[in-house]
């Protein structure tokens, strides 16, 4: 025991000495680096601290021009120009970087990727695509494929998008939603060309990739309906409940049309009412209300919305009840009801919109592909509802 303590007495001072020496070396290195920085660097830093961004950028551009060793500064400036929308300056900066012979392989790949992104932002897709394909066998291949996927979606090159998405598939992101939607887009294009059988093949492909693809099921039903195979179309649409019941509101009008074609409109109304009782958030109240007025009269429609509001109170339900009251109210009360309805509508406008859960983009029309963030299946199919991120 005494022997161990003796060795510690010998070793500990050595460790302390090495630590002191390392600290001295680090301090000297930092001082040397700070001395090697151009004085303009600190001038630019002062501009940034003062909130004078434009002046700071000009200073750093001058540094980048006059000091060839400032590779990272050039990368930073390129990113900054792109973010500010100064795409020509960003392109020139990244082209200048690529022309340097002292770049490492990783830096060259990054500069090429950044230049491709500049071209995408500028709408020069052909030039961007060429650069990105050149990165297919490098460490930047995955990032390049992500950008290629964005290009193909913007250009509606859905078959190419499918191929790239399949290459990108991994455990963290299967791309099944996207690939299914790309097949649906191909099906939609085929239908425009009246290629019905080809469209059906694309839709079956969509369902094989993503069994929960409601859009494919909805479109298959529409094809069958157009071919006067009404019962088979209804059967397709009824399967949507097992996929995702919240999307029943998107197919409700088609279902009702199908039952009308079969001469079973009452069965269609009863089905929608059962859906509404089972899934209170479904956006089918207006549809049922319209058909009750047309088929059973104002009193039946009024009774329906009154019972609906009692069972599931909501602002849209209250608006619909006021609308029904307006039809049955005496003339001397209609102006007051109209005023209440207008105030309610103006203050609950958000309940009539669809919301993208990724970017918050809102619209009166439902989209499978968000116009704001280009995400797929990011809208809750219920007006006024913001789908949770976990969904």
Domain regions of the chain by residue span:
1-36, 68-155, 287-348, 353-391
- What pLDDT shows up at residue 305? 77
209-213, 226-230, 310-314, 337-341: least confident range: 337-341
- What pLDDT shows up at residue 183? 97
- Does the structure show a pLDDT above 50 at 341? yes
Q: What is the rounded CA–CA span in Å between residue 363 and residue 368? A: 12
Q: Does 373 count as an annotated binding residue?
A: yes
- Does the structure show a pLDDT above 90 at 188? yes
Q: What are phi and psi of 115, to 5 degrees?
A: -65, -40
Cβ–Cβ < 8 Å for 238, 214? no
User: What SS3 state is found at 376?
Assistant: strand
Q: What is the rounded CA–CA span in Å between residue 369 and residue 213? A: 13
pLDDT bucket at 78, cuts 50 / 70 / 90: confident
Q: Which residue has the higher pLDDT, 308 or 68?
A: 308
- What pLDDT shows up at residue 36? 46
65-74, 244-253, 254-263, 327-336: least confident range: 65-74
- Does the structure show a pLDDT above 80 at 67? no
- What pLDDT shows up at residue 376? 87
Q: Does 184 count as an annotated binding residue?
A: no
Q: Which residue has the higher pLDDT, 28 or 341?
A: 341
- What pLDDT shows up at residue 130? 95
Entry pTM:
0.74
DSSP 283: S
Q: What is the mean pLDDT of residues 225-244?
A: 95
- What pLDDT shows up at residue 58? 58
Q: Does 213 count as an annotated binding residue?
A: no
- What pLDDT shows up at residue 347? 59
- What pLDDT shows up at residue 345? 63
Q: Does 359 count as an annotated binding residue?
A: yes
* Structure tokens, 245: 């019941």
- Does the structure show a pLDDT above 70 at 45? no
- What pLDDT shows up at residue 285? 80
CATH number, domain 68-155? 1.25.40.10
Residue carrying structure tokens 């704001």: 372
117-126, 137-146, 351-360: least confident range: 351-360
């Amino acid at each position: 025991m005494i022997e161990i303590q003796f060795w510690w007495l010998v070793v500990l001072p050595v460790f302390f000495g090495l630590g002191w020496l390392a600290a001295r070396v680090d301090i000297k290195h930092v001082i040397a680096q700070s001395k090697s920085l151009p004085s303009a660097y600190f001038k630019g830093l002062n501009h940034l601290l003062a909130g004078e961004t434009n002046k700071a950028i000009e200073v750093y551009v001058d540094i980048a021009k006059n000091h060839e060793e400032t590779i990272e500064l050039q990368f930073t400036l390129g990113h900054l120009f792109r973010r500010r929308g100064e795409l020509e300056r960003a392109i020139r900066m990244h082209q200048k970087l690529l022309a340097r012979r002292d770049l490492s392989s990783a830096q060259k790949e990054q500069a090429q990727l950044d230049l491709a992104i500049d071209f995408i932002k500028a709408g020069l897709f052909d030039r961007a695509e060429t650069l990105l394909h050149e990165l297919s066998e490098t460490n930047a291949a995955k990032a390049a494929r992500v950008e290629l996927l964005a290009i193909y979606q913007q250009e509606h090159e859905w078959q190419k998008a499918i191929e790239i998405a399949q290459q990108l598939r991994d455990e963290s992101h299967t791309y099944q939603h996207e690939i299914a939607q790309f097949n649906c887009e191909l099906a939609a294009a085929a239908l425009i060309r009246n290629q019905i059988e080809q469209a059906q093949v694309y839709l079956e492909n969509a369902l094989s990739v993503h069994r929960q693809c409601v859009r494919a099921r909805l479109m298959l039903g529409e094809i069958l309906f157009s071919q006067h195979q009404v019962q088979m179309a209804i059967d397709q649409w009824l399967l949507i409940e097992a996929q995702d019941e919240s999307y029943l509101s998107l197919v409700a009008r088609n279902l009702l049309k199908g039952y009308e074609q079969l001469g079973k409109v009452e069965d269609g109304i009863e089905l929608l009412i059962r859906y509404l009782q089972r899934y209170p958030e479904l956006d089918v109240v207006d549809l049922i209300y319209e058909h009750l007025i047309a088929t059973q009269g104002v009193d039946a429609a009024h009774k329906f919305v009154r019972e609906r509001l009692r069972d599931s109170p909501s602002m849209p339900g209250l608006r619909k009840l006021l609308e029904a009251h307006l039809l049955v109210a005496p003339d001397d009360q209609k102006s007051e009801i109209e005023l209440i309805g207008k105030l309610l509508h103006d203050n609950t406008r958000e309940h009539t919109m669809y919301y993208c859960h990724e970017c918050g983009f809102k619209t009166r029309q439902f989209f499978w592909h968000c116009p704001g963030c280009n995400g797929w299946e990011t809208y809750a199919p219920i007006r006024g509802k913001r789908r949770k991120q976990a969904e």
